Structure 1
Amino acid sequence: MAGTGGRPRRSGVVSSGPREEILTVAAALFAEKGFSATRMSEIAEASGLRQSSIYYWFSSKDQLLRAIMEQNRVSLSAARVLVDRAEPAAARLYVVLYHDVVQMCLAPLNFYALEQTAHEQPEEFADFGLDYAELVRLLRDVVAQGVAAGEFVDVDEEDVVRTALSLTEGTQHRFHAGRGDVADVARRADAAATMAVSSLLREPGSLPAVVAAARAGIAGFAATGP
């Protein structure tokens, strides 16, 4: 591995290694200065690494940007897999919302800041809007399936999904704003997913079974209990 000399890290974020530190710093600089105006040398300096060390992990700014975006695709990946599964819609919805909170809390940048950056730099962050629209569409399908199967009360699927995502996004915002403890992420994710799903259930008493199914895992996606 390349050396990690240079100045002490200045991001103020506790990370699990150089790669995560680089992503944290790059995301903040892209938001502050713009993608085009940010130089790899600036990312290296702010990370406390030599520029050669940055290139060890990422060959270009484009690769850095793709890695940042990939951190926000866990829930989308789950939704893509789970949308057509045979398991109850409530358990599938819970799993996706749970992972949505976890991925956003553990991401280096507050989702709202990333969203604002995407609005201000639409060309570089075009995938952000496309990913979000796809997530909404897939979750809308899951909710519609739950209504059709009698699991959920009759609702406007679009409104329900937008409200549920507002809940997960608000949860991660409070986590980032309050410098939350990583050990607390699972509890926050469970609370948000439980609140969203329980409001839809035609039979509220079925909630424990829904959560148990989600924690047991569906198609490789499991919600680890707090």
Structure 2
Amino acid sequence: MSRTADSLPSTRQRRKEARPQELLDAALDLFVEKGFAATRSEEVAARAGVSKGTLYLYYPSKEELLKAVIRENISQEIAEGEDIVRGFDGPTAELLAHLMAEWWRRIGETRASGICKLIISEVRNFPDIAQFYLDEVVLPAERMIGGVVQRGIDRGEFRPVAVDDVVHALMAPMLFLMLHKHSMGACPNLDRRLDAPRVVAMQVDLVLNGLVPRTAPRGGPRKAKA
């Protein structure tokens, strides 16, 4: 049975349902462009095409708005990454490479990458946001990546290592690439662009295989005699 005109949502209703996402999109753009502290709530409302009062109906403060932006753009992706981990049956090295590539594709290559730059540059002045970001992003991401590394150890695919240190070694280049994207990488006249997916793949390869040839003796390759 086809839906009658009366049963279809009105344009106004559809607009109302889309409003939270429009506010989040406007907030993300402005927070990245101007910084969190410098962005005024009325600017977010204006860019979304609503009044400041309407903004506060959905998000009662600028801090709550930023938290919602983080949940929408990063926390959700981490949750989906956890689903990938749970459903993967192959070798752990492949899982790790896939997970890191997906992290860059879903966050690093998108507007969400600006959130990381924003947090690093401003969070010291907003301790409540710092704690929220730690709980919502940092700790879940570390648990996810650390769980993959531990999986490899438990299955005998990786040698025993300090898991937390490996997680930091994997994630630090990601942060660098996102900062570069929103700093030197954003300068159109600088020939300093990085091929981020290749850098991510190389980082995973280095963590898995290192630089020293597998046939080299312990301690690294011997120096040639003069």
| Structure 2, unaligned runs of 5 or more | 1-10, 13-21, 212-226
Q: Which residue is equivalent to 2:102?
A: 99
What is the correspondence of 1:12-31 to structure 2 with a 5 Å cutoff?
A: 20-28=25-33, 31=36
The one of 191, 196, 205 aligned to 1:198 = 205
Report the CA distance between 1:42 and its aligned residue. Answer: 3.2
Report the CA distance between 1:96 and its aligned residue. Answer: 2.5
What is the correspondence of 1:2-41 to structure 2 with a 5 Å cutoff?
A: 20-28=25-33, 31-33=36-38, 39-41=40-42
- Alpha-carbon distance change, 118 to 203 in structure 1, aligned in 2, over 3 angstroms: closer
1:115 aligns with 2:114: no
Higher-Rg member (1/2) = 2
- Alpha-carbon distance change, 193 to 89 in structure 1, aligned in 2, over 3 angstroms: farther
Q: Which residue is equivalent to 1:52?
A: 51
Q: Which residue is equivalent to 1:155?
A: 161
1:66 aligns with 2:67: yes
* Equivalent pair of 2:146/2:167 in contact (CA under 8 Å): yes
Report the CA distance between 1:141 and its aligned residue. Answer: 1.6
Report the CA distance between 1:170 and its aligned residue. Answer: 0.9
* Equivalent pair of 1:76/1:135 in contact (CA under 8 Å): yes
Give the Cα–Cα distance (whole angstroms) in 1 for the partners of residues 121 and 210 of structure 2.
39
Give the Cα–Cα distance (whole angstroms) in 2 for the partners of residues 160 and 112 of structure 1.
22
- Alpha-carbon distance change, 150 to 91 in structure 1, aligned in 2, over 3 angstroms: same
Q: Which residue is equivalent to 1:12?
A: none
What is the number of equivalent residue pairs in this alignment? Answer: 179
The SS at the match of 1:32 is coil
1:76 partner amino acid: I
Give the Cα–Cα distance (whole angstroms) in 1 for the partners of residues 196 and 24 of structure 2.
26
1:126 aligns with 2:125: no
Give the Cα–Cα distance (whole angstroms) in 1 for the partners of residues 145 and 84 of structure 2.
10
Give the Cα–Cα distance (whole angstroms) in 2 for the partners of residues 32 and 40 of structure 1.
10
Report the CA distance between 1:137 and its aligned residue. Answer: 1.9
1:167 aligns with 2:185: no
- Alpha-carbon distance change, 18 to 68 in structure 1, aligned in 2, over 3 angstroms: closer
Deviations 1:4-33 (A, max 9, x none): xxxxxxxxxxxxx88634421145556234
* Equivalent pair of 2:153/2:159 in contact (CA under 8 Å): yes
* Equivalent pair of 2:36/2:122 in contact (CA under 8 Å): yes
Report the CA distance between 1:168 and its aligned residue. Answer: 0.9
Give the Cα–Cα distance (whole angstroms) in 2 for the partners of residues 180 and 188 of structure 1.
16
Report the CA distance between 1:166 and its aligned residue. Answer: 0.5
- Alpha-carbon distance change, 161 to 141 in structure 1, aligned in 2, over 3 angstroms: same
Residue identity over aligned pairs, in percent, reads: 18
Whose relative contact order is higher, 1 or 2, with alpha carbons under 8 Å and at least 6 apart?
Answer: 1
- Alpha-carbon distance change, 114 to 26 in structure 1, aligned in 2, over 3 angstroms: same
* Equivalent pair of 1:83/1:142 in contact (CA under 8 Å): yes
| Structure 1, unaligned runs of 5 or more | 3-16, 205-226
Give the Cα–Cα distance (whole angstroms) in 2 for the partners of residues 53 and 139 of structure 1.
40
